[in-house]
Structures are given as structure tokens and as C-alpha cells.
Chains A and B, each alone.
Chain A
Amino acid sequence: MATVTLNNVVKRFGNFPVVHGANIDIKDGEFVVFVGPSGCGKSTLLRMIAGLEDITDGEIAIGGKLVNDVEPADRGIAMVFQSYALYPHMSVEQNLSFGLRMTGNPKADTDRRVKRAAEILRISELMERRPKKLSGGQRQRVAIGRAIVREPQVFLFDEPLSNLDAELRVQMRVEISRLHKELGTTMIYVTHDQTEAMTLADRIVVLRGGHVEQIGRPLDLYDDPDNQFVAGFVGSPKMNFIKGRIVGRDAHGVVVELAGEEKTRIVQPLTGAAPEAGSKVIVGVRPEHFGIAGEGDADLTLAIDVVEHLGGTSFVYARTANGEDVVVQRDAAKVPDTPEITVSIRKSYLFDEKGLRLR
């Protein structure tokens, strides 16, 4: 087990910057998820920690020891690849033991570690099979098993579930969570799937375009995002963004008028400096923060496009008078059978024109 510290880590491919000065402190035994859209630099960051990718600038320390110039094999890490990267010509048992056998680890110890990994992952009955005779989920277990036998200080997972079908993904997510509890080892996990990030992580690092946008516990990111990107990325369906304008200030905060809805004004408490009246802002509302009419500051009438009934809950896809798309979460029983729906805004977030949160 070990801490992992990234200090102003920069990566450039030629002149093209991929990671711009990442600062991340990962605690001993913590499960941290790097999440972000494709090309945000999350996998590159992970590969730099593994040592498979050189660092252009900055420092990476594992267990307090600077590892910039340490070979990947000597960093005390084990990695699970997106494609599993199993050795196709070896049986499961050989896949698990290969690294240990090649480095001259005593046979008894190798056997013990392989047996333990197989038991933890419940793959003992598959030991003689070749990877091509395994299902996707079983291959993933073997890949994780190969990491376990190394008894690493840090586990690195590079989008390990993205090749699995939806049902298996949920199942493996639970398994990985269980594994973390059982082993208590530091784990760093890369995914583009915010649901995986929310369900697995102790803390999430949200990345965009090579920048760390925010680091925090899943619910902190959900409830208190630093900017419009994080607000939109975390949560499903994503947060609704409605254009607005500051029209004044009252005892409770700034008064915001929604674009195209002159009568709809909401009051947003702000502790920091408020923008001037007339400034354009963006109001963020999560689908579940739309209440029934009369519950909030103001009511908003929306034209319904489509309703998705998921059983207990329904999602109403609708448009504001200004033509902005909005998703409203409702109890299935409370969705009106009319072309319009009137909602109130119970809770909202305010962002400036650049997308920064106004608090």
C-alpha cells in the first residue's frame, strides 16, 4: 500500500500538450477514479504513473519515493489493461504466474499467490483454460488476477470494463469494489463513464483537455461542482443549463431572469462578489431539482417532447420558451398527460459566462 503524488506533471507529445501540470495527492488505500471525456489525458496520466509513458515535466512519487526515472517494473504497481492484455498462448494459471516465474520467484510462493488470486476472483476452475476459451468477464478476472499476484502497492485500472456488456459491467463494478475492500490497496481507476466513477470512487478526479477540473468525493462533485463542465459531466441525466441574466439583488441573493421567460425569476444566494446587473449567467438545474408548480421561487412552463417511463421514475424531455432542451425527473404518476408541464426550480447552480461557478 502506498500514497501516490503527482506534482505539476506535464506531458507533451512533440509540441502537443496532453497533460498541463496535474497536481493530485492520492492517499494510502484510497480508490481514486480519473474520469473525463475521450482525449482528456486520463489514460496518459495513468500510463505515466505506471512508467509506460515518460513525463515531460513534474514529479511522480509512489510511497513517498520519486519514481520519475524508476523502471515500470520497479514502481510497485500492477496494471489492468482495457484489452486485458492476456498472454494468448498461455493457460490462465500460466498467465497468472508468468511474471513471477520469469523473475525466479520461489515456486511455493508463486503457487500460493496464484491460488489466493484465483480464490479471490473465483476463477480456480478455469486455471487450465486458454484466454480464447474464456468469456469477457472471465478474461477481465484473469487480468485482475495477474495484477493481484504481483502484490503491488498500487493497482492501476485503464478502462477495465469498457469491453463488457452492460450487465457484466455492473457485476464487475461490484467485484472491483469488493476487491478494494478486501485488499485495502491504493487503486487508481480510469474511465469515461461517470456512473463507474460515482459508484466506485472514494475520490474522483475530473479531467478535461489535460487539465484537472476538480477533485473531490463523488457526492461533493455532484452537489458542489466548481464549474459548468464538472456539473454537466457528473450525474445522469446531466444537469440542465438554462441561459439567464442578473437583474438585481435582494436580501437573499442575486435575482436571475431566465432567457425568454421574463416572468420567471429565481433568487440565488451568493456569498462571493455578485456580478453586475445585466451580466449574462447560466443557471444549472439537475433533473430531480425541478419541483411541482409552486414549490420554488418561480414556475416554468415547458413544452414536452418525449417522456421516458422507467417504472417508478420518468424523465420528461422538454423545451423552454427560449428553445433550450431540459430534462425533468418526475414520479411516473405525476407526469401530466398534456403537451406542457409546469415545474418549479427547487435548487439551482449559477455559472458565469466562462462556466465558472458563482457561489
Chain B
Amino acid sequence: MRNRNATAYRFLTPYLLIFAIFWVWPIISSFLISFQATRTVPWRFAPGFNWGRLIGDPAFFNALKNTLLILVIQVPVMITLAMVMAVLLNSPLLKARGLYRFAFFAPVVVGEVAYSAVFRLMFSLDFGIINKLLNSIGLPKIDWFSNVTPAMALIMIAVTWRWAGYNAIILLAGMQSIPEDVYEAATLDRVSKLKQFFFITLPLLKPVIVFCAVLSIIGTMQLFTEPFLITERGGPGGGTETLGLLLYRQGFRSLNFGYASAVAYTMAALAIAITLVQLWLTREPK
């Protein structure tokens, strides 16, 4: 048996090597880099340099505030919307279900640059369809890109559009795994459809909802594409700058790898902490 294990490990070695070099080492390395002053040549060990700056950096707190704001508003809205979409998709009355399922999933497949360009066009002040629609129902135009609040709303709308369908498909799969006869039993128990949703579907779907929420939290903590491409690098004036964008700006524009690494570790730690709190809050009773 030991021999067979040894053979298995020999086969696994090329993968493990690549995994160690390109996965494990960068994680360790960036942790070490976060303790170095990387704006000097050569880099020198200075534990307080980056971490100390982080604590007092208004740009960091601005990015943190924006990221958490998006997280707190966008994730619940998106999961709720995804749930509504999943319920509709699950309806036996729905015709051409496959088509809808594809349509809901399609935004994930569309290229990020293409989708961002379309959103910029749609929300454009002078010739965007959204402002045309607002005008047509008597509302004033909104300058989505020059004011912070509309810009943040735009980011949230874009992220929701892109990921709601994806979450809906996951929730739909969860819903379809609930046996039909449980609902039949509830029907015979005189439980209304609405109560069946709240007292059977939702509780049984809890693990799937938590899964979607955790994925969304991690995704939002790393949010980069939308503020980079739609609101042009976190504009206006850093109003939509997220932690992901700050990391990019520090690491790859200012080449300050030490500080970027510290930001990266903070993002990861926050994602883990929020996820753990959520898992604890939604844990199964013994």
C-alpha cells in the first residue's frame, strides 16, 4: 500500500511543484513583501512601513468604505433578486425555460470590457437610453459619472446585472433538489403556496443561499472591473474606488508592492472575517 501511495505522489509531483511555485509561494511572498519598504532600492525590512501607513491612509479608508457600502447594499439586493428569478424560472407555468436560463446566465459569459462599454453607453448623460427613459417619464437626467452617489449606484446596478442570473441558476438548482412530495404533503396540510415558500423553500435553501452570499462577498471584496472600466478608475475623484482598485493603483501604477501586499492581505482577512461571521449567524441549530 505504501508503494502505491509513493507512485501516486510521483505522478502528482509535477502538479504539486507548479502549485507550490505559482500558488503557495506568491501567497507567502506577498505576505513577506507586505513587511518591506518597496519604494527603496534595495527593498528593506520595515514591519511598520506599510501596515502603519494602512492604518492612517485616508485613501485606504475611502476604498474600504466604498467596498463595504457596495457589499452591504448590493449583495442582499442581488441575492433577493436572484431568488425571485429562481422562483420564476422554477414555475411550471414558464414556457421556454432553457431560453430564460441561458439569458439569465449570459451576462457572466459576456466579456467584461464589452459589457462595461455597453453600460457606459447606456448610462451616458446625453445619449444613454437610461436618461432617455427617465426623461420620458418626466424625471430629470442623472449624470451617472460625475457624481459619487449615482456612480456608486451605477456600479451596484452593473454588478447586480452581471451576477444575479448566475446566483439565480445556483438557487434554481437548489430549489429543484427539494423533493416535490414535500410540497405535496404541505399542500395536503393546507399550507398556502406563500407559506410553503417561506417555511419550506427558504429554510431548505439556506445552505445554498449562504453559499451564494459567501461567493458574492468574496467577489465584492475583490471588486475591480466595474469601477476600473465603467466609472473610469474609481471616479469621480475616487468616489467609487474599491480596495481592489487601490491595490492595483498602488501595486501596478505606483509599483509600491509592499503597500499593495498589505492591502491584499487586508482584503483577504476582511473577506474571511465577514464570511465566518455570516456562517456563524446562519449555522444549523444542533
Residue on A nearest B182 in the bound complex, by CB: A85
Residues of A within 8 A of B187 (CB): 52, 72-73
Contact A102 B199 (CB under 8 A): yes
Of B181, B185, B200, the contact of A146 (CB 8 Å cutoff)? B185
Contact A102 B189 (CB under 8 A): yes
Contact B189 A98 (CB under 8 A): yes
The stretch of A74-82, A248-256, A271-279 in contact with B is A74-82
Question: Interface extent on B, as a size class?
Answer: 10 to 19
Of A52, A83, A102, the contact of B190 (CB 8 Å cutoff)? A102
Of B186, B188, B189, the contact of A50 (CB 8 Å cutoff)? B188
Contact B185 A79 (CB under 8 A): yes
Residues of A within 8 A of B192 (CB): 102
Contact A99 B189 (CB under 8 A): yes
Residue on B nearest A83 in the bound complex, by CB: B181
From residue 186 to 226 of chain B, which have CB atoms closer than 8 A to chain A? 186-192, 195, 199-200, 203-204, 206
Residues of B within 8 A of A77 (CB): 188
Question: Interface extent on A, as a size class?
Answer: 20 to 34
**Cα–Cα, bound, A103→B179 (Å):** 22
Residues of B within 8 A of A87 (CB): 182, 185-186, 200
- Whether, in the assembled complex, A354 has its beta carbon less than 8 Å from a beta carbon of chain B, the answer is no
What sequence of 0s and 1s flags, for each residue 64-95 of chain A, a beta carbon within 8 Å of any chain B beta carbon?
00000000111001110111011111000000
**Cα–Cα, bound, A73→B229 (Å):** 55
Tally of contacts, chain A with chain B, CB under 8 A: 61
Residues of A within 8 A of B206 (CB): 89
**Cα–Cα, bound, A89→B182 (Å):** 11
Contact A150 B181 (CB under 8 A): no
**Cα–Cα, bound, A260→B272 (Å):** 83
Residues of A within 8 A of B185 (CB): 79, 81, 85-87, 146
Residue on B nearest A99 in the bound complex, by CB: B189
From residue 126 to 152 of chain A, which have CB atoms closer than 8 A to chain B? 146, 150
What sequence of 0s and 1s flags, for each residue 3-31 of chain A, a beta carbon within 8 Å of any chain B beta carbon?
00000000000000000000000000000
**Cα–Cα, bound, A102→B192 (Å):** 8
From residue 142 to 166 of chain A, which have CB atoms closer than 8 A to chain B? 146, 150
**Cα–Cα, bound, A82→B182 (Å):** 11
**Cα–Cα, bound, A327→B218 (Å):** 69
Residue on B nearest A47 in the bound complex, by CB: B184
Residues of B within 8 A of A98 (CB): 186, 189, 191, 199
> Would you mind naming 26 contact pairs between A and B with Cβ atoms under 8 Å apart?
A50-B188, A52-B188, A73-B187, A73-B188, A73-B189, A73-B190, A74-B190, A77-B188, A78-B188, A79-B184, A82-B181, A83-B179, A83-B181, A85-B181, A85-B182, A87-B186, A88-B182, A88-B204, A89-B203, A98-B189, A99-B189, A102-B191, A103-B190, A146-B185, A146-B189, A150-B189
Query: Could you tell me which B residues sit within 8 Å of A by CB distance?
Result: 179, 181-182, 184-192, 195, 199-200, 203-204, 206
Q: A74-B190, A85-B185, A99-B186 are in contact. List 6 more A-B contacts (CB 8 A).
A: A77-B188, A79-B184, A79-B185, A89-B204, A103-B190, A146-B189
